[in-house]
């Protein structure tokens, strides 16, 4: 038992995304989305990065999002389990194509709206605060094929309509909103992040930054609307975070790390401070990137900054200015140089609890806005016994160490943190690989990479551990 305390009202919980758990991809009037047509297996990475044009299902691949873990039909059971763990908050996302099946309709699909209303009410029944990502790697396929995804300015209008619909319908039910999941992923997984694919010979960097500009303006419009419709609403941005370390004390390595950090912080610099940083304008100038940015866009960015800064954290990263240093290790979509001081998960993601404290401090120092850790966790292979029970001490260890350094950041460093949601509190489909085998949950789901299994839920050892963490507000880890 520690006498270091998390603040009262700290929001412990878990985080998910529609396409990774709902399934029912063609029920309730839902339209097809980019995430549906991304299969498990080798081709996935080429598809989500926009290198392989793959816009529909075929017989050669398995598409895990079609059924996922069937939360669509089992949400009551799942939310009851979250409530049993004592969740204060549940992060989930809206499947855009449930609300606007094609994306460009004028009227929403009532069945989709009713589904999420029921889910939010179910959360409220247990005093669980919904934390809702408006788009989590999710865009109706029609907007990809007809408009080219976020490269197109028309997306502002469609997204605004989506936001207005959600804020109006869920007024009083939802107060915490995130505009775009891991907005910096647009640079690394542009089909998944923004429905982008590239034609041969096109300037990909230019397209990505144009799409980023559209998302940034859309995010500002969402913040404006959210506050207008309900002053209780709080809107956050969301970054795939993880501070870069220099590979050595050589100044050129420090410089390289700074450049890499800027590539990520660029998005949050705009969303939290309200203007494009000079380093970005200089980069565009140097690289001949010309963006369509209007005065009205700039005014929106300036006037409607976010209320809080949220982020995912799985690992720190390493950069070097020495072209000879190249040994990479896997990470959350984009690889980093290997850090010899750290262990790694079975998927090669390096494990760095202190890096979370470092990242929290870096973000706090930069923005001075309340923060929210909305993803953190260990993807691992679990071996259940005949009852579906898993002795996942490795997961408990990972989370315990991260929660400790997060507590230090609050109690020793004074950062302001609203809450912490672990990624995938119930096993779900991996975004990066499409696998089920890569599990993050406190709750085991009987389903494999090929879609076999009963979908039965069972508690792992970590279930009771996290329950105790929440019950003691983080005093007992």
Closest approach, Cβ 254 to ligand BG6, in A, equals 27
Question: Closer to ligand BG6 at the Cβ: 16 or 152?
Answer: 16
Closest CA to 311 of 239, 208, 232, 262: 239
Closest approach, Cβ 378 to ligand BG6, in A, equals 10
Q: Answer yes or no: are the C-beta atoms of 434 and 376 closer than 8 Å.
A: no
What is the rounded CA–CA span in Å between residue 98 and residue 313?
29
Residue matched to tokens 């929440």: 470
Q: What's the maximum distance between 2 C-alpha atoms anywhere in the chain?
A: 63
Closest approach, Cβ 256 to ligand BG6, in A, equals 23
Question: Closer to ligand BG6 at the Cβ: 66 or 224?
Answer: 66
Provide the annotated active-site residues. 375
What is the rounded CA–CA span in Å between residue 466 and residue 421?
11
Residue with smallest beta-carbon separation from ligand BG6: 432
What is the rounded CA–CA span in Å between residue 213 and residue 215?
5
Closest approach, Cβ 168 to ligand BG6, in A, equals 27
Residue matched to tokens 């982020």: 311
**Residues near ligand BG6 (CB under 6 A):** 17, 20, 181-182, 240, 312, 332, 375, 379, 423, 430-433, 438
Question: Closer to ligand BG6 at the Cβ: 237 or 256?
Answer: 237
The full DSSP string for 160-218 is HHHHHHHHHHTTTT--EEEEETTGGGGGTSHHHHH-----TT--HHHHHHHHHHHHHHH
Question: Closer to ligand BG6 at the Cβ: 23 or 432?
Answer: 432
Closest CA to 351 of 316, 379, 382, 381: 316
Residue 226: Cβ-neighbour burial (10 angstroms; 0-12, 13-18, 19+):
buried
What is the rounded CA–CA span in Å between residue 294 and residue 94?
29
Q: How many beta carbons lie within 10 A of that of residue 175, not counting itself?
A: 17
> Six-digit token pair at 13?
């919980």
What is the rounded CA–CA span in Å between residue 34 and residue 341?
38
Question: Closer to ligand BG6 at the Cβ: 380 or 409?
Answer: 380
Closest approach, Cβ 351 to ligand BG6, in A, equals 14
Question: Closer to ligand BG6 at the Cβ: 242 or 353?
Answer: 242
Closest approach, Cβ 19 to ligand BG6, in A, equals 8
Closest approach, Cβ 205 to ligand BG6, in A, equals 21
> Six-digit token pair at 96?
């855009």
Q: Answer yes or no: are the C-beta atoms of 291 and 213 closer than 8 Å.
A: yes
DSSP state of 439: B
Question: Closer to ligand BG6 at the Cβ: 182 or 269?
Answer: 182
């Amino acid at each position: 038992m520690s006498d270091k305390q998390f603040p009262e009202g700290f929001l412990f919980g878990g985080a998910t995304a529609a396409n990774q758990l709902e399934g029912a991809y063609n029920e309730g009037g839902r339209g097809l989305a980019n995430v549906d047509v991304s299969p498990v297996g080798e081709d996935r990475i080429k598809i989500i990065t926009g290198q392989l044009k793959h816009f529909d299902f075929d017989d050669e691949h398995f598409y895990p999002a079609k059924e996922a873990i069937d939360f669509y039909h089992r949400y009551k059971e799942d939310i009851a389990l979250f409530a049993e763990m004592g969740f204060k908050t549940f992060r989930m996302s809206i499947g855009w194509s449930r609300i606007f099946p094609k994306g460009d309709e004028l009227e929403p699909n009532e069945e989709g709206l009713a589904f999420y209303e029921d889910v939010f009410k179910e959360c409220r029944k247990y005093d669980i605060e919904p934390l809702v990502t408006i788009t989590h790697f999710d865009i109706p396929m029609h907007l990809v094929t007809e408009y080219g995804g976020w490269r197109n300015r028309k997306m502002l209008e469609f997204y605004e309509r989506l936001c207005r619909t959600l804020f109006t319908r869920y007024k009083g039910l939802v107060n915490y909103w995130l505009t775009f999941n891991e907005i910096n992923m647009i640079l690394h997984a542009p089909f998944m992040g923004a429905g982008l694919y590239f034609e041969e010979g096109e300037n990909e960097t230019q397209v990505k930054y144009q799409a980023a500009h559209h998302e940034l303006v859309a995010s500002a419009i969402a913040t404006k609307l959210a506050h207008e419709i309900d002053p209780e609403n709080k809107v956050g941005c969301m970054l795939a975070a993880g501070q870069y370390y220099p590979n050595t004390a050589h100044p050129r390595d420090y410089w390289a790390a700074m450049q890499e950090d800027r590539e990520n912080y660029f998005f949050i610099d705009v969303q939290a401070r309200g203007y494009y940083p000079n380093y970005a304008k200089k980069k565009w100038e140097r690289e001949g990137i010309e963006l369509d940015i209007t005065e009205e866009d700039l005014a929106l960015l300036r006037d409607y900054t976010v209320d809080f800064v949220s982020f995912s954290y799985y690992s720190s990263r390493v950069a070097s200015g020495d072209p000879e240093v190249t040994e990479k290790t896997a990470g959350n979509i984009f690889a980093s140089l290997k850090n010899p001081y750290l262990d790694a998960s079975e998927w090669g993601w390096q494990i760095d609890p202190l890096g979370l404290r470092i990242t929290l401090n870096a973000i706090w120092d930069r923005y001075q806005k309340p923060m929210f850790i909305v993803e953190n966790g260990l993807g691992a292979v679990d071996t259940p016994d005949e009852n579906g029970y898993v002795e996942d001490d490795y997961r408990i260890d990972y989370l315990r160490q991260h929660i400790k350094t997060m507590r230090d950041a609050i109690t020793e460093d004074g950062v302001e943190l609203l809450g912490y949601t672990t990624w995938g509190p119930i096993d779900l489909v991996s975004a990066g690989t499409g696998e089920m085998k890569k599990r993050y949950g406190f709750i085991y789901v009987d389903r494999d990479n090929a879609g076999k299994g009963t979908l039965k839920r069972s508690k792992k050892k970590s279930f009771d551990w996290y329950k105790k963490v929440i019950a003691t507000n983080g005093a007992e880890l």
